[in-house]
Chain A
Amino acid sequence: MNARNLPVTLLLALLAVGMVLPLFQAGTATGFWLEVLIGGLMAGVLYALVALGFVLIFKASGVFNFAQGAMVLFAALSLARLSEVMPLWLAFVLSALIMVAFAWLVERLVLRRLVNQEGVTLLMATLGIAFFLDGFGQTIWGSEIYRIDLGLSKEPMLVLQSVFQGGLLLNRDDILAAVIATLLVLLLALFFQKTATGRALRAVADDHQAAQSVGIPLSTIWVIVWSVAGFVALVAGMVWGSKLGVQFSLQETALRALPVVILGGFTSVPGAIIGGLIIGVGEKMAEVFLSPILVRAFDLAGGGIENWFAYVLALLFLLVRPEGLFGERHIDRV
């Protein structure tokens, strides 16, 4: 094995062992452990959706889009408020159109004017877009907590009662979230691999200049990629909003996608998905199983591991593998 891979392999092995260990701990029911695992996977799916938006934009334009979280909130707000006055499907279509219009405006007013600027300049621009979008969303849609009703019963389902004592409690909206996320990923794969536009997007991601030389217009591609990222944000916002309600804190939770892309790699779509799942499961497991042990051992005031676990994990990854699990390794000639 490559010596460079050793630290990252150790880190992943440690994570895996840490997740499985509670099973052998006295007093942990297998059913409960599975519930925690599934809860973590569900959170992970949502992180992955936001991270996917980051990765798409970063690949196609090299822009680190700080506004992805704000886009999730804005899309969710649009959907929630529109669905109050019209059927959900119509509200969804209209919200998708709003996100396309947003993408077009971003290209026209910001990206086009900042082309070939330093990465930091573009990052600051997206930071500005993020704050604008947060405020503007409240200006036109309001700042209360809004509901998105997917029409599912909130009653959890009890399954596998014959296998485990007490069975497994599953939320219907969690299952729906997983199904929607899987469909979205399949749809994106189909779009990227099987269409000429998808091929053009992959081409731009690889080399701007060469893509232009075969007649691919960069500005159109940017509008498309920001629209796709906006659509992904809308789906993430819908699923998330239906679970937790649409409120400002959505945007903070969406920032959890940052450690996810550090883990998975900035340029990798599979990395965003796997990174999202690892962080989702990891932080849930840490909160439920590790937290009580630490509290008892050191007589701490409380848990709260869930709030920082993802970031510490990302920090460790930065130390041992800065390009992430699936990212491209940059080797500069000196």
Chain B
Amino acid sequence: MARTLGDVILSVESISLAFGGVKALTDISFDVREHEIRAIIGPNGAGKSSMLNVINGVYVPQAGKVTLRGRTFSHMEPHEVALAGIARTFQSLALFKGMSVLDNIMTGRNLRMKSGLLAQALRLGPAEREEIEHRRVCERIIDFLEIQAYRKVPVGRLPYGLQKRVDLGRALAMEPSILLLDEPMAGMNTEEKQDMSRFVLDVNDEFGTTIVLIEHDMGVVMDISDRVVVLDYGRKIGDGPPDEVRANEEVIRAYLGTSH
């Protein structure tokens, strides 16, 4: 994959995170370049999800800092992270189960809605136009993810693979500049994994979205990522293009050696 990557858009420096006496992350640093697909891999319990939750603002690290487009912060609230243009999906589905597919995706537009409450409730002119505009964006995403047939179905009734797509759709509706994906292929069969890989590549390609991807399954990740960070027991043991990481002795010992 000969692609030219942009400038560094997001970087984490010397992040350490502990829960009580348990060290989840120790002194982790890496950067993410614009338009790239950046993977974070590692065995179970390596601290991948913790890393994502630090970037997302859910966990506050004891040490280290996150820099987003030159702005450094030690902690942002999750909704501030969303405002800054970072969207995410969840490993264990966190959808709004009682709401329809369309409504779920529409929540991704909430931040951009400007009309007042009363205007929305009564469907006054400008509010109506705004709603239609947002609806159009959501319909494009629904088409893109090929879930047209389910737009009115409550999400809780959809099969797992489709719920994962809705989760992605909700994140895309925010039109994020960075998309964090937490094990998007977990629990999927081969066909579903291929579909999801295609969606991830298309998002990256068509919208130019920078993607940070956590995966347990090495095969898929190696195929679609530009650069890979490898974590093991909360430490970084490898960082580089897929081929380089694949050849790294420590990675082979820690990861491939034990689980394959």
Q: A and B from one assembly?
A: yes
Distance of A213 Cα from B94 Cα, bound (Å) = 10
- Residue A212, interface by CB 8 Å: yes
Q: Is the CB of B77 within 8 A of A216?
A: no
- Residue B15, interface by CB 8 Å: no
- Residue A81, interface by CB 8 Å: no
Q: Which of B58, B96, B173 contacts A203 (CB 8 A)?
A: B96
Distance of A202 Cα from B100 Cα, bound (Å) = 11
Q: Which of A190, A197, A203, A214 contacts B82 (CB 8 A)?
A: A214
**Residue interface bits B12-27, CB-to-A below 8 A is 1, else 0:** 0000000000000000
Task: Give the most central of B56, B97, B121: most A CB within 10 Å.
Answer: B121
Distance of A212 Cα from B57 Cα, bound (Å) = 10
Task: Give the most central of B78, B90, B170, B174: most A CB within 10 Å.
Answer: B78
Q: Which of A195, A209, A217 contacts B58 (CB 8 A)?
A: A209
Chain B residues contacting A203 (CB-CB under 8 Å) are: 96, 99, 107, 110
Chain A residues contacting B83 (CB-CB under 8 Å) are: 215
Sort chain A's interface into a size bin: 20 to 34
- Residue B117, interface by CB 8 Å: yes
Distance of A217 Cα from B82 Cα, bound (Å) = 10
Distance of A280 Cα from B137 Cα, bound (Å) = 47
- List residues of B (82-138) whose CB comes within 8 Å of A's CBs: 82-83, 87-88, 90, 94-99, 103, 106-111, 113, 115, 117, 120-121, 123
- List residues of B (164-189) whose CB comes within 8 Å of A's CBs: 170-171, 173-174
Distance of A229 Cα from B107 Cα, bound (Å) = 23
A207-B111 contact in complex given A191-B121, A194-B123, A217-B79, C-beta closer than 8 Å: no
Distance of A191 Cα from B77 Cα, bound (Å) = 27
Which residue on A lies nearest to B85, using beta carbons? Answer: A215
Distance of A66 Cα from B98 Cα, bound (Å) = 26
Number of interface residues, chain B, beta carbon within 8 A? 33
Distance of A107 Cα from B37 Cα, bound (Å) = 40
**Residue interface bits A153-187, CB-to-B below 8 A is 1, else 0:** 00000000000000000000000000000000000
Q: Is the CB of B94 within 8 A of A215?
A: no
Q: Is the CB of B90 within 8 A of A210?
A: yes
Q: Is the CB of A195 within 8 A of B120?
A: yes
State how many angstroms separate the Cβ of A235 from the closest Cβ of chain B. Answer: 17
Q: Which of A190, A206, A213 contacts B56 (CB 8 A)?
A: A213
Distance of A214 Cα from B109 Cα, bound (Å) = 8
- Residue A108, interface by CB 8 Å: no
Chain A residues contacting B56 (CB-CB under 8 Å) are: 213
State how many angstroms separate the Cβ of B179 from the closest Cβ of chain A. Answer: 11
Chain B residues contacting A216 (CB-CB under 8 Å) are: 79, 107, 110
Distance of A193 Cα from B107 Cα, bound (Å) = 12
A210-B79 contact in complex given A191-B121, A196-B120, C-beta closer than 8 Å: no
Q: Is the CB of B110 within 8 A of A210?
A: no
Chain A residues contacting B90 (CB-CB under 8 Å) are: 209-210, 213
Q: Is the CB of A195 within 8 A of B121?
A: yes
Q: Which of A195, A206, A212, A215 contacts B96 (CB 8 A)?
A: A206
Distance of A216 Cα from B79 Cα, bound (Å) = 6
User: What's the dominant secondary structure at chain A's contact region?
Assistant: helix
- Residue A200, interface by CB 8 Å: yes
Which residue on B lies nearest to A267, using beta carbons? Answer: B98
Q: Is the CB of A200 within 8 A of B110?
A: yes
Distance of A205 Cα from B174 Cα, bound (Å) = 20
A199-B106 contact in complex given A209-B90, A217-B77, C-beta closer than 8 Å: yes
Q: Is the CB of A202 within 8 A of B58?
A: no
Distance of A191 Cα from B108 Cα, bound (Å) = 18
Chain B residues contacting A202 (CB-CB under 8 Å) are: 96, 98-99, 103
Chain B residues contacting A199 (CB-CB under 8 Å) are: 99, 103, 106-107, 110
Which residue on A lies nearest to B53, using beta carbons? Answer: A209
Which residue on B lies nearest to A217, using beta carbons? Answer: B79
Q: Is the CB of A214 within 8 A of B174?
A: yes
Chain A residues contacting B115 (CB-CB under 8 Å) are: 196
Q: Is the CB of B107 within 8 A of A200?
A: yes
Which residue on B lies nearest to A202, using beta carbons? Answer: B99
Task: Give the most central of B90, B97, B107, B109: most A CB within 10 Å.
Answer: B107
Q: Is the CB of B111 within 8 A of A215?
A: yes
Q: Is the CB of B95 within 8 A of A214?
A: no
Which residue on A lies nearest to B113, using beta carbons? Answer: A196
Q: Which of B99, B117, B170 contacts A214 (CB 8 A)?
A: B170
Chain A residues contacting B58 (CB-CB under 8 Å) are: 209, 212
Distance of A214 Cα from B17 Cα, bound (Å) = 24
Closest 8 CB pairs of A and B: A215-B82, A212-B78, A210-B94, A206-B96, A215-B111, A195-B120, A196-B113, A217-B79
Give me the interface of A with B, judged by CB distance under 8 Å: 190-191, 194-197, 199-200, 202-203, 205-207, 209-218
Task: List 20 additional contacts besides A207-B97, A211-B96, A214-B170; criterion CB under 8 Å.
Answer: A191-B117, A199-B110, A200-B110, A202-B99, A203-B110, A207-B96, A209-B78, A209-B90, A210-B90, A210-B94, A210-B170, A213-B56, A213-B82, A214-B87, A214-B107, A214-B174, A215-B82, A215-B83, A215-B110, A215-B111
